[in-house]
């Protein structure tokens, strides 16, 4: 496992509370496409329920990372695409089940007008770095 360097508050930048401003790591990059709240059969999980969708998305991220020999400890960047910023507390709760507060990756949250299907409330992508 690579131990990324986290810089939560670079000089002259306001401290972050739900992410880390800068994460550096050297190794093999693992890019995980945006994951959706679908089970392994392709069925929607949690229609209209942001918490259920967030849990499923993080489970999918976990499986994708594992397929590449990575884990949430290796994640250096998460990008959240949400149809409503009101879903962020549910996403943070699901994230907390996988990533402790002292290991938060860099992150971006973007509210979008729509995702590929109207029943999706969120899509989350991840970047990880693992030893070569």
Would the pLDDT of 3 be above 90? no
Q: Please name the residue ranges forming H helices in 17-87.
A: 50-67
Instruction: Output 5 or 45, whichever has higher pLDDT.
Output: 45
Task: Please tell me the pTM assigned to this model.
Answer: 0.94
The rounded distance, in Å, linking the Cα atoms of 118 and 21 is 31
Question: Would you state the structure tokens that stand for residue 95, as one six-digit string?
Answer: 């994230």
Provide the CATH topology of domain 25-130.
60s Ribosomal Protein L30; Chain: A; (3.30.1330)
The rounded distance, in Å, linking the Cα atoms of 94 and 131 is 26
Would the pLDDT of 41 be above 80? yes
Domain boundaries, the chain: 25-130
The model's confidence at residue 126, banded by pLDDT at 50, 70 and 90, is very high
Question: Would you state the structure tokens that stand for residue 36, as one six-digit string?
Answer: 């959706």
pLDDT tens for residues 61-71?
999 999 999 99
pLDDT tens for residues 79-118?
999 999 999 999 999 999 999 999 999 999 999 999 999 9
The rounded distance, in Å, linking the Cα atoms of 121 and 81 is 8
């Amino acid at each position: 496992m690579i131990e990324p360097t986290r810089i939560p508050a670079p000089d002259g930048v306001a401290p972050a509370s739900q992410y880390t401003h800068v994460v550096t790591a050297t190794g093999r990059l693992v890019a995980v496409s945006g994951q959706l709240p679908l089970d392994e059969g392709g069925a929607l999980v949690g229609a209209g329920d942001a918490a259920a969708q967030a849990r499923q998305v993080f489970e999918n991220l976990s499986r994708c990372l594992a397929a590449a020999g990575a884990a949430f400890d290796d994640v250096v960047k998460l990008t959240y695409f949400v149809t409503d910023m009101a879903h962020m507390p549910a996403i943070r709760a699901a994230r907390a089940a996988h990533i402790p507060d002292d290991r938060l990756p860099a992150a971006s949250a973007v509210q979008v007008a729509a995702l590929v299907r109207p029943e999706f409330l969120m899509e989350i992508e991840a970047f990880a770095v693992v030893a070569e």
